Amino acid sequence: MPVTPIFEKKNVLVTGGAGFIGSHLCERLVKEAKVICVDSFINSNERNIDHLLQLPDFEFIRWNINDPFSLDQFPELAKFKVQFQGVQEIYHLACPTSAKNFDQFKMDTLLTNSTGVRNVLDLAVKHKAKLVHASSSVIYGPRKGEKVSMHEDDVGTVAHLTPRGCYDEGKRFAETMVDTYRQVHELDGKMARIFRTYGPRQRLFDGEMISDFITDALDGKPLVIYGDESFTTSLTYVSDIVDGLVKLMKAPAGLGPVNLGTDGDVKIVDVAKKIIELTGSSSEIVFEPPLVFITPLGLPDIRRAKDSLGWLPLVRLEDGLKKAIDYAQAHKTLLGVT
C-alpha cells in the first residue's frame, strides 16, 4: 500500500470524529483532504457533523472501533478509492469520556483503550499510514504537592484499581501499545497528551463544567462547580488543540509524546463568574462534591510543542468563552436552552 496518495488528495481517517474535538478536527482536515469519520455515537452526537455530511470529501461511517474492521468493507468509501489508495493518515480520538455517566461506559472505555487501539494500529500498519493518538493529561496522575507542571519525561503515578482506572490506566496502556507498534512495525505513531479543552460542541449536562456553565447561565440556572473555590485547572480552546494535532501529524517521526494545553492556571470559580458577566446572567454559583472523573490535574510543560512543532495556544480564555457563548446562543433550541 503506498505511503503517499496516488490521487489528487490524501485520505485521512478520524476515529471519534463526531465527538467534541474530533468534529472540529474533521472540519479542519476536509479543507485539504478526503476525510473518513468513524464514530459509534456512544457519547458523541450526529449534530456535530451535520454540516459536513453533504461535502463530497467527507464520509461518515458508524462503527464501534472495538470491533475489527477494514475500510474495504464499506462500499460508501469506494468514491475515495480506498482499495487503491488506502489511507495516509489516521487521527485516533475515539474514547468515551463521560464525566457524569462514567460508570455507564466503563467496559466501553476499557475495551477502547485496548482492543480498539489495537484495531486502529493494525489498520495503520496495513496501510502504512501515519498515526496521531489522542492521549490525555490523566497519564500523569493528580497534582502532587508543589509539583504542578508536567513534562513529557515525567513518569506519572496512576491508581489503577480505582473506579476510573479503566480510563487513566487505559490511556497509559494505549500509549504503550502505540510505542510498541512503533518499535516492532516501524510505525510513524505519535502521541498527543491533551489537557482540559473547551469550546463549541462540548457535551452538555454531563459534568463538563464550562459548557454547562454557559447553558445554565443563559437559562438563569445556578452554575454548579464540582469542587470548592480552590479548584484550578488548565483550559485550552478547541481550535488550538486541533492546530496542535495537525502540526504533530506533520512532524518528523520519533518525536515522542507531546503535551498540548495551556500552561497557565485558572480558578474554575473565576471562569464561572466571567461567564455570568459575559452572558449578563443573574445566575448564582453553587458547589457540589467532586465527580470521580473531574479531579485537579497538573499543568502542561509545553516546551516540546513550542520547540518541535512551533505550537502554542493562541486563543485567550475570554475570547474562547465568547465564541462558546455565541455558539450556545445560536443553537440554543437544539441544545435545549430556553
Distance CA 271, CA 151 (A): 26
Nearest to 10 by CA among 29, 37, 26: 29
- Of the residues 167, 198, 226, 237, only one is catalytic, namely 167
| Residue 104 neighbours by CB distance under 10 Å | 13
DSSP 171: H
Q: Please, what's the b/e burial string for 282-297 (b: 16 or more CB within 10 A of its CB; e: otherwise)?
A: ebebebeeebbbbbeb
Distance CA 196, CA 262 (A): 9
Nearest to 23 by CA among 2, 54, 50, 49: 49
Whether 198 sits among the annotated catalytic residues: the reply is no
Written as one letter, the residue type at 190 is K
Could you give phi then psi for residue 130, rounded to 5 degrees?
-75, 150
The residue to which cell 509539583 is assigned: 147
Q: List 134's β-bridge partners, or say none.
A: 192
Written as one letter, the residue type at 136 is S
- Residue by residue, DSSP assigns 96-141 as ---STTGGGGHHHHHHIIIIIHHHHHHHHHHHT-EEEEEEEGGGG-
Residue ranges of the alpha helices (H) in the chain?
Answer: 20-29, 82-85, 106-111, 117-127, 165-185, 209-218, 238-250, 268-279, 303-304, 317-330, 332-335
Q: Which grid cell sits at 276?
A: 455570568
Written as one letter, the residue type at 162 is T
Residue 52 CA to chain centroid, in angstroms? Answer: 19
Active site residues: 167
